[in-house]
């Protein structure tokens, strides 16, 4: 069973390499991650952006730039469009955000003519390797959907389950977390959590086991679940945490990163290809983990 990012990197090496199309690639942490991914045999890359700046940064980090194709685009919007076009044309398997605003790269991804749009909801899935938990933990959605309704939450769960399948978790346990573990009509998130559980029982959400509502403690701690008398297959053993909204998801994401010192990765799913969309605050290690994560997703497709 895959329990750490070391396992993820090993599996990505077995199933790779895949080609990344990096939009606006002139970023030191991004190029360091691409270099490391290439050195490990996980991924190749096409670097789209300011060629002069890319070469300059590559020399600073001892990156053999001759191993990579460069598409010279000074304009960020045009570079993002080109990066997405390479994936649409089958010349790359993954899009990666470089030194460009998220809104610009996502606009290219969703472009009706050259983009990677599908009929699915786009959602962010983060993967965490933390000493506080005995396996990988997925968190969704911390970056895309602000206040998802019931149907959007259903699709976000389906996206996350597909991601879990890519790391060989065949039937992931999904905890729909709220402020408390009991349904309260005054707390709509708890009502929707119970409905998502019922949808799963009716076969309307497949490929996973859904339970809710859970508070975070009884979603990830068997002791907490037992103390509160919660008897459910997901209780204390969640693989995936579905946050009630972007606020809850983002706070949990950053708490795991900055307070629990977890290792992390994050990608956007629901498009025709994975999109590596990391924060400027994320380390080059997190970006490398995200590339490996995306390679496994691209292999699954």
Q: Do 34 and 68 sit in the same domain of this protein? A: yes
Cα–Cα distances in angstroms (integers) from residue 61 to residues 20, 36, 99, 277, in the given order = 19, 11, 17, 22
Q: Do 182 and 160 sit in the same domain of this protein? A: yes
Q: Do 245 and 135 sit in the same domain of this protein? A: yes
200 within some domain: yes
Tokens representing 99 are: 């030194």
Q: Do 113 and 131 sit in the same domain of this protein? A: no
Hey, which bits of the chain come out as E strands?
A: 18-23, 43-49, 69-72, 94-97, 123-129, 137-140, 173-177, 209-214, 240-242, 263-269, 275-276
Q: Do 20 and 113 sit in the same domain of this protein? A: yes
CA 250 – CA 244 distance, rounded (Å): 11
144 within some domain: yes
Mean pLDDT, residues 52-63 taken together:
97
Give the CATH number for residue 165: 3.40.718.10
Checking if the pLDDT of 278 tops 90, the result is no
Q: What percent of the chain has pLDDT over 90?
A: 90
237 within some domain: yes
Q: Across all residues in the chain, what is the average pLDDT?
A: 94
CB 230 within 8 A of CB 218: yes
Checking if the pLDDT of 301 tops 70, the result is no
Q: Do 46 and 16 sit in the same domain of this protein? A: yes
CB 209 within 8 A of CB 233: yes
Q: Do 148 and 74 sit in the same domain of this protein? A: no
Q: How many domains does the chain have?
A: 2
Q: Do 88 and 31 sit in the same domain of this protein? A: yes
Helix, coil or strand: residue 117: coil
Mean pLDDT, residues 281-301 taken together:
88
Cα–Cα distances in angstroms (integers) from residue 287 to residues 5, 28, 214, 294, in the given order = 12, 11, 31, 10
Confidence of residue 276 (pLDDT cuts 50, 70, 90): very high
34 within some domain: yes
CB 87 within 8 A of CB 21: yes
By DSSP bridging, strand 137-140 and strand 209-214 are unpaired
Give the tens place of pLDDT for each residue, 86-127: 999 999 999 999 999 999 999 999 998 888 989 899 999 999
Residue 139 forms beta bridges with which residues?
Answer: 126, 241
263 within some domain: no
Confidence of residue 251 (pLDDT cuts 50, 70, 90): very high
252 within some domain: yes
CB 95 within 8 A of CB 276: yes
Mean pLDDT, residues 278-289 taken together:
83
Q: Do 253 and 276 sit in the same domain of this protein? A: no
Mean pLDDT, residues 267-272 taken together:
94
Neighbours of 222 (CB within 10 A): 12
The pLDDT assigned to 280 comes to 74
264 within some domain: no
CA 87 – CA 233 distance, rounded (Å): 39
CA 172 – CA 238 distance, rounded (Å): 8
Q: Do 139 and 101 sit in the same domain of this protein? A: no
The pLDDT assigned to 172 comes to 98
pTM: 0.93
Q: Do 192 and 239 sit in the same domain of this protein? A: yes
Mean pLDDT, residues 213-234 taken together:
96
- Domain containing 98 equals 5-117+271-300
11 within some domain: yes
Cα–Cα distances in angstroms (integers) from residue 68 to residues 114, 175, 262, in the given order = 23, 42, 31
Task: Tell which residue, 208, 11, 187, 48, has the closest CA to residue 125.
Answer: 208
Checking if the pLDDT of 42 tops 90, the result is yes
Give the CATH number for residue 47: 3.40.50.10950
Checking if the pLDDT of 282 tops 90, the result is no
Q: Do 277 and 231 sit in the same domain of this protein? A: no
**Within the chain, what is the greatest distance between any pair of CA atoms?**
62
């Amino acid at each position: 069973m895959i329990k750490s990012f070391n396992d993820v990197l090993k599996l990505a090496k077995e199933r790779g390499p895949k080609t990344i199309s990096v939009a606006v690639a002139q970023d030191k942490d991004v190029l360091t991650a691409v270099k490391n991914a290439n050195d490990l045999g996980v991924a190749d890359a096409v670097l789209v952006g300011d060629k002069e700046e890319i070469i300059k940064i590559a020399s600073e980090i001892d990156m053999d730039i001759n191993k990579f194709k460069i598409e010279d685009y000074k304009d960020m919007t045009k570079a993002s469009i080109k990066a997405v076009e390479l994936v649409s044309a089958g010349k790359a398997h993954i899009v990666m955000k470089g030194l460009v605003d998220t809104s610009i790269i996502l606009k290219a991804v969703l472009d009706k003519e050259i983009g990677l749009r599908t009929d699915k909801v786009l959602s962010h899935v983060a993967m965490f390797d933390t000493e506080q938990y005995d396996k990988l933990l997925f968190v969704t959605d911390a970056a895309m959907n602000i206040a998802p309704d019931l149907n959007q939450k259903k699709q976000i769960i389906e996206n996350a389950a597909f991601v879990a399948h890519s790391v060989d978790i065949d039937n992931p346990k999904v905890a729909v977390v709220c402020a408390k573990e009991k349904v309260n009509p005054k707390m709509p998130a708890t009502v929707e959590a119970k409905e998502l559980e019922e949808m799963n029982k009716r076969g309307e959400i497949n490929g996973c086991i859904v339970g809710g509502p859970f508070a975070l403690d009884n979603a990830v701690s068997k002791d907490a679940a037992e103390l509160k008398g919660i008897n459910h297959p997901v209780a204390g053993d969640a693989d995936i945490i579905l946050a009630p909204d972007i606020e809850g998801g983002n706070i949990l994401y950053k708490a795991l990163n900055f307070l629990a010192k977890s290792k992390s990765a994050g990608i956007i799913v629901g498009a025709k290809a994975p999109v590596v969309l990391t924060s400027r605050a994320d380390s080059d290690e997190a970006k490398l983990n995200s590339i490996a994560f995306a390679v496994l997703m691209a292999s699954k497709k």
